[in-house]
Amino acid sequence: MRFQLIAAAAAAFALSGCGVIYHSPTVQSGATDSSQVRVMPITAENALLANQVDYQPRSLPAVFSQYAGGGSLRGAGALPEPVFEPEQNPGQLNVRIPPAVNPGPYRIGVGDVLLLATQTAGSTVEELSGLLAAQNRRQGYTVQDDGVIAIPDVGRVGVAGLTLEEAEAELFRRLVENQIDPTFSLEIAEFNSKKVSIGGAVSKPTVAPITLTPLFLDAALAAAGGVTASDLDYASVRIYRAGTLYQIPLSELYARTGLRRVQLVDGDSVFVDTEYDLEQAQSYFEEQIQLAQFKQSSRQAALAELDTEISIRRASLQEQRENFDRRFEYGGVERDYVYLTGEVRRQSRFALPFGHSASLADALFDNAGGLSTTFADVRQIYVLRGSPDPREFSGVTAWQLDASNAANLLLATRFELRPNDVVFVSEQPVTRWNRTISQIIPTLGLADTATDIGN
């Protein structure tokens, strides 16, 4: 019986070699019944040649690259002009000076415009000639309502409430985090967050910004074109600050230098009055308070509207993405595939990814149906590629990867797959022989003997 088993095995080996008993798929070069097969080894040069086949990966729907966005506040529109009706009334005034203040260094606020200058690439000659500074890229950024500025490649950086030095430190940190050259300069181009209003008997009622340098009373009056009151005996400068009213008669203001150096702070209102009583100044200050409240309520309403709008946008984007996911789950999304066959873990198709190409290595080492190292002949890994024209089937190129040298697997990472490629992995010779034996032995009734010999 043992002799019969050995004889059967020898016969099976011979028959399998000539392909009489067991047939397995192979790649044969030359002319076949339906096409001309050309075998090309995968080398670095041939990988570049194969990758020249034009292919545009499918893209995800645009909804996956969209975001709700921050939008912009619509604002409250144009504000009414201040009311001023000059009158003359005699009277006597007392001096009430605001307390000294020390607001500290300027802190960036909403509405300020920051100017960021970053270096551009320049030659050594430009650097030596001093031309590089002129080539700096300068971009202005407005501090938004939530206190941030949005910088490309960096993101949203919170700067409201920071001094210029603190803002530079924060920006330096964010640039380093994003691996961007942290060589830059930062300055405030427009001061819009802190203001003092000046009205009354002045040439040009205005709103003066508070900048890096302190704003004093004489400078504020000069910004409004100067005082136009002709009778200094009954004129005064009234300052409204945080619910308290202060006044300085013009005669005292011009006589005492120190009074002209009263430092003003954000939110102050200055009114040059020609009346003894406070009715005219009171009307002006009430108007400024109402304007401030109007701005604040309008800002809050705009923020609430913006939040609602962003929520609606996000819900819409999320719904569209979920609809795509459901279509994808049920096979309703058109995809490009590569087909894996031969000695792989599972005969399957490999979906080419959205937005970028996939390599032969991606398919071979895929968890679902990748390379079977037990039965595969790693010398014969093929990518079968036909003509891109579906009406033509006259030629097939079999790109062969010999992975017996593991270093050649690097070539698999550079070989790009195309739609409808067939990745075929041939079987080991001993695998073909084992499969032939496994089919012959039951036919000859030698299964029990083969089991005894194995034991």
* Highest mean predicted confidence (pLDDT) among 45-54, 205-214, 305-314, 383-392: 205-214
- For residues 267 and 366, state if they share a domain: no
pLDDT tens-digit readout, 284-305 = 667 777 777 777 777 777 777 7
CATH of the domain at 44: 3.10.560.10
In a domain, residue 65? The reply is no
226 within a domain of the structure (yes/no): yes
| Last residue in a domain, options 308, 331, 354 | 331
In this prediction, residue 157 carries a pLDDT of 93
Q: What is the CA radius of gyration of the chain?
A: 42
Contact 249, 236 (CB under 8 A): yes
Please state the domain count of the chain. 3
Q: First CA to last CA across the chain, in angstroms?
A: 15
Do 373 and 265 fall within a single domain? no
What was the pLDDT predicted at 62? 77
Taking phi first (over 0 means left), then psi (-120 to 50 degrees means alpha), and beta for anything else, what does residue 291 get? alpha
Residues 35 and 151 occupy one common structural domain: no
Mean per-residue pLDDT, 9-24: 55
Domain with 293 in it: 72-103+194-331
Provide the sign of the torsion angle of the four alpha carbons 350, 356, 359, 364, taken in this order: negative
110, 30 in Cβ contact below 8 A? no
As a whole number of angstroms, the distance between CA 156 and CA 148 comes to 6
Task: Say if CB 212 and CB 185 are below 8 A apart.
Answer: no
Tokens representing residue 364 in the block = 């071979």
Asked whether 354 and 381 are in contact (CB, 8 A), the reply is no
Domain boundary among 331, 353, 379: 331
In a domain, 357, yes or no: yes
Q: Mark whether 135 and 81 lie in a shared domain.
A: no
Residue 84 confidence class, pLDDT cut points 50, 70, 90: very low
Which residue, 309, 331, 353, sits at the end of a domain? 331
Task: Output the pTM of the full model.
Answer: 0.44
Name the burial class of residue 277, with classes exposed (0-12), middle (13-18) and buried (19+) by CB atoms within 10 angstroms of its CB.
Answer: exposed
Q: Are residues 243 and 371 in the same domain?
A: no
Q: Which among 187, 180, 184, 143 has a CA at the least distance from the CA of 165?
A: 187
User: How far is it between the farthest Cα atoms of the chain?
Assistant: 139
323 and 342: one domain? no
pLDDT at position 453 is 44
Backbone φ and ψ for 364, nearest 5 degrees, come out as -65, -35
